[in-house]
Structure 1
Amino acid sequence: MAAYLVFGIALAVITGLGFGVRTLRRFVAGVPDLLPDDLIGAQERSRRLAAAPAS
């Protein structure tokens, strides 16, 4: 129980510190061509299925 509390507080502190760093806070705005991981995975799956020989 105490470990959950300690690690929860540590996670909150680290998150708060991360929001204090301007570069991290504005990362997505600075990289407009960034695609979500699920979209990249779907594109890769479609590419592999198209390249696979028909069975």
Structure 2
Amino acid sequence: MSVVPIAYQRERDAIAPKDLDQAIISSNKALRIDPHQRSLWMEVERDFRRWEQIF
């Protein structure tokens, strides 16, 4: 079971594809807040891969 911070999940879901810059800032902020949480790193990495495919 993944324990990704709820705040990151909600903010990620609220970001529209046109707001890629804000999405990147949000992801980096989440990683700075909790850099040792592996599930968060995996979630952010998955998001970056998805954004690469979109753009």
Same structural fold, with TM-score higher than 0.5 when normalized by the shorter chain: no
Q: TM-score, normalised by structure 1?
A: 0.32
Q: TM-score, normalised by structure 2?
A: 0.32
